[in-house]
Amino acid sequence: MDAISIDRQPANFRAWAPGKAKGGAKMSSYKWVSASHAQQQVVHHEGHRRRFLKWLSASPLLASPGLAAWAAELPSKYPDPIIWAPFNPNDLITNPKDAINVFDFEPVARKNVPPAHFGYMASGIDDEVTLRANREGYLKFQIRPRRLNDVSKVDMSVELFGVKHATPIIIAPTGGNRFFHNEGELAVARAAKAGQHMYTLSTSGTKSIEELTAAYGGPIWYQLYASPSWDVARAIVKRVEAAGCPVLEVTVDRLGGRNQETLFRLRKEDTRDCKTCHEPGAVGRARRRPMYDGIDLSAMKAMDSNNMTWDFIKRLRDTTKMKIVIKGILTHEDAKLCVENGVDGLIVSNHGGRGEDSGRSTIDALPEIVEAVGGRIPVLMDGGIRRGTDIIKALALGAKAVCIGRPYLWGLGAFGQPGVERVLELMRLELYGAMQQTGVKNLRELTAAHVRRA
């Protein structure tokens, strides 16, 4: 069995693999197979165990000596605890309200979304070490719950840049939302408004700042891909400021080409003629993005701003009164430079494992950055956040708020706006419960004493 792509969770990795037609013939379509489900079959059937090990040894993507050793022990040792209700990828939810957690939306989105578009969202870089590290990093930290505190009522609100928000969960900027559902960013913005989450529009969005501000019903944040041209960047910034945006996120971690192997493999499955929608080249891509409307793109060579320096940030500071937040900081050295150069905040981010494959998770980088900043500017964080306990760990380690991306895209691809609303609802419910379990009634009570390294 040849795996097509892989997206691992710490205790359960999953892969796209060829399905079988009646009679055992291979199908051209693919089904979602769960390693934990395969392990359950091994428990009950010795023959399945042998086939599982044979398949495992033949698959370079799933090779794991530890897993093979565990499987070899199974005749005399059951896993503890036994997984009595493993994730069943063939039993997809048909209503967003049926979702138990955010992961329930991903296989539905895979079914609904064209392969190339799904691959664009799901892919990391190279071996996707950073993509996996973003999830696995949370296992390096443990929560230290406190007891005998009254948590009958919990306040999840947080203040950012002088504005009070009902939740610390912010909608991260993601490009091309119409890849996943026809309503695209409009559906996400409306869902964010319904759940009282701050929404951030990407420069690569398929709707304009004016449309999204209207859909949200108030000011939203904006993420800037500056491009190598100052004139292009300035035109976008002026438009965004005129639309009433209070916060400008400047992405600094998209510096060049990306080897997105999951995307490239899934793109081979896509039978559509992509050229009908995707004009090649940076200018062609920019013309499909409404935030470039009316801007002279004749000299534009790339959308990635790999010529950006701190001089650009200083120039930007002199151009706008918006709060400037640097997105893509991963070291204490750069965090100190953010403060020294007068920016208003920063986001610890590795672009969801899509910008580089350093292998370092954002939660692992967070403590040194918080220490370097010393409370002088707010620190936000994104990357791999899927659970309420993930949020607790990030906030306890010093993040003021967290930003989520892929989970709401799963909801969008699965069910449109109702799917996004349910994803956000689940995240809020889990955070509320995790705060109670940790013994804090508001986010101000969360401190580094509530977590420890495992």
CA of residue 100 relative to chain centroid, distance: 19
State the first-to-last Cα distance of the chain, in angstroms, to the nearest integer.
Answer: 36
- 40: enclosing H helix or E strand: helix 35-44
d(CA 359, CA 54): 29
d(CA 79, CA 66): 14
**Beta bridge mates, 323:** 247
CA angle in degrees (0–180, nearest 5) for 257-259-260: 115
Helical segments of 322-405, H only? 332-340, 362-373, 388-396
State the DSSP string of 112-154.
Answer: HS-HHHHHHHH--STT-HHHHHHHHGGGGEEE----S---SS-
d(CA 219, CA 228): 27
d(CA 416, CA 5): 24
Contact 278, 284 (CB under 8 A): yes
Q: How many CB atoms lie within 10 A of CB 377?
A: 19
The one catalytic residue in 117, 181, 197, 351 is 351
Secondary structure (3-state) at 53: helix
- 5: enclosing H helix or E strand: strand 5-9
* Residue found under tokens 């420890």: 452
The 3-state DSSP composition of the chain as helix, strand, coil percent (nearest 5) reads 45, 15, 40
For 290-325, the three-class secondary structure string (H helix, E strand, C coil) is HHHCCCCCCCCCCCCCCCCCHHHHHHHHCCCCCEEE
Contact 432, 443 (CB under 8 A): no
Based on the residue annotation, tell me whether 351 is a catalytic residue of this protein. Answer: yes
Structure tokens at 205: 């969005």
CA angle in degrees (0–180, nearest 5) for 335-145-131: 45
Active site members: 351
